[in-house]
Structure 1
């Protein structure tokens, strides 16, 4: 109806409780007006430019986010007292911002504001972001066959990580990171300079461990020094691989074209 469009965009918010981390009830007033216009699934889009596919169901006259919501909540470390503000503009997307217990917006990009965004994300790729995927087979071109053992692209300071880096045998580029508590409570992991290995731009990489793989955003800040971080998707990878502070991860580049890293975890 025309009068609906006059109300757009519209905002609503939800306070995060322990009871709505797996499914989230949408305000009745909102669904009374817009339920007939909502796509299913709908895409939740936080400021880090990722899109999360979430399906909703209707029970006893109420609309609930179910499939996909738990993954979103886990990836952004939603917890008791957080507030999620939704903005609906009559499309298949809900823009969201997440406020912490301090009532300030949480910056999941860690101020990485100088990002190359010239690669649009298709809906198909967006639906796969940070979801658990089956690894795709890949071929090595004959020119890519290993010829010489490589060394870690970085030299960790921590004794355990340094020992792992020195003993790790590979003929592909790799880097070594010691996991800290901040890497598990925040949605990022700093990685070393990958110049000459991965192009210096925002992109999606695949982290593979065992038979499973996860899509993760690799962001960079351009300037006198280049800073790179795994962001969206990293939290889910860390959770599902049960990473703990003090663990050491070796990221071995298996496929440069598709940006596939095999992750070796040392407890």
Structure 2
């Protein structure tokens, strides 16, 4: 059977200690027998974070194929450990979609865009692509909705001195970052000005690790009560926009597409975001203003990001 006829076929592999030691991964013999004919060398492995990795393969016997050159770098990139497992789905043109699961059985959090860019510098075979099959999370160029957003916030000399003191005394532990983020968020809430309704939130670990950002219930009840039934929203940063899934229920949230928005805007644990609501007749959108914990917290004026 040719590789063209194998489109959509899955196989999985469990990571063994020998896999890590030998720096190779074997392809199931049954898959090789039925579908390997016509697959070119190297193959392309594509991951949910839109990263592609080229890996060479070698045939050690009639029906034995091993991923070799490039596999070690891929294992390091994904931080693979024993007992994790990978699911491969053949597409076409020697391309496999790959999903990685941890020991607990949940899909892993793939390396962030920042990590990918660092990898690109040392490995030219690593490539970032856009997902053509989904509009959620995809960045598009479009005029932002008309709204007046002001993020220039002056603080008096005492507050400036206190802020500097807070930054200088704080370390980099999780608790320290939370405290510094809390201080920044309080000041943003106090000094941020907009003609539209808005809410501010700290970037918690949950929002960094998951494809999820929770919208405060009090904000939903006060300003989004009449929007039930709408299941998508648009996030704007300047002229760029991202489509995300909107859930309005007991725990309202932005989901599918949030991770792409976070990665492409380089949001980090402790940063603060302001979501300014734009109420359209048919659509829901937010203008997002980002305050970096490392940059904005250290300035005498909160002027945001360029």
Residues 164 and 131 of structure 1, relative CA distance in 2, 3 Å threshold: same
Residues 59 and 254 of structure 1, relative CA distance in 2, 3 Å threshold: farther
- The 5 A counterparts of 1:44-63 are 59-60=40-41, 63=43
Measured after TM superposition, the shift of residue 177 of structure 1 is 0.4
Measured after TM superposition, the shift of residue 255 of structure 1 is 4.8
Q: Does 1:131 align with 2:138?
A: yes
Deviations 1:31-88 (A, max 9, x none): 875689xxxxxxxxxxxxxxxxxxxxx643x54245x854279xxxx93235343568
Match of 2:44?
Answer: 64
Q: Does 1:266 align with 2:291?
A: yes
Measured after TM superposition, the shift of residue 214 of structure 1 is 1.7
Match of 2:190?
Answer: 166
Measured after TM superposition, the shift of residue 233 of structure 1 is 1.8
| From 206, 216, 224, the counterpart of 1:192 | 216
Match of 1:79?
Answer: 78
- My pick for the range that moved more, 197-206 or 182-191, is 197-206
Aligned residues: 192
Measured in 1, the distance between the counterparts of 2:144 and 2:291 equals 25
Normalising by the residue count of structure 2, what TM-score does the alignment of the two structures yield? 0.48
Q: Does 1:211 align with 2:239?
A: yes
Measured in 1, the distance between the counterparts of 2:253 and 2:200 equals 14
Match of 1:227?
Answer: 251
Deviations 1:198-247 (A, max 9, x none): 72357222211123222222234x4xxx1022222222222221212221
CA contact (8 A) 1:97 1:105 kept: no
Measured in 2, the distance between the counterparts of 1:32 and 1:172 equals 62
Measured in 2, the distance between the counterparts of 1:33 and 1:136 equals 51
Measured in 2, the distance between the counterparts of 1:103 and 1:204 equals 31
CA contact (8 A) 1:176 1:250 kept: yes
Deviations 1:110-162 (A, max 9, x none): xxxxxxxxxxxxxx995322122112465x6xxxx99xxxxxxxxxx934313
Normalising by the residue count of structure 1, what TM-score does the alignment of the two structures yield? 0.54
Match of 1:49?
Answer: none
Residues 182 and 35 of structure 1, relative CA distance in 2, 3 Å threshold: same
For the aligned residue pairs, the C-alpha RMSD in angstroms reads 4.5
Residues 9 and 131 of structure 1, relative CA distance in 2, 3 Å threshold: closer
Measured after TM superposition, the shift of residue 14 of structure 1 is 5.5
Measured after TM superposition, the shift of residue 259 of structure 1 is 1.8
Larger radius of gyration: 2
Residues 70 and 235 of structure 1, relative CA distance in 2, 3 Å threshold: closer
Measured in 2, the distance between the counterparts of 1:134 and 1:15 equals 41
Measured after TM superposition, the shift of residue 249 of structure 1 is 0.4
Q: Does 1:253 align with 2:273?
A: no
Residues 176 and 191 of structure 1, relative CA distance in 2, 3 Å threshold: same
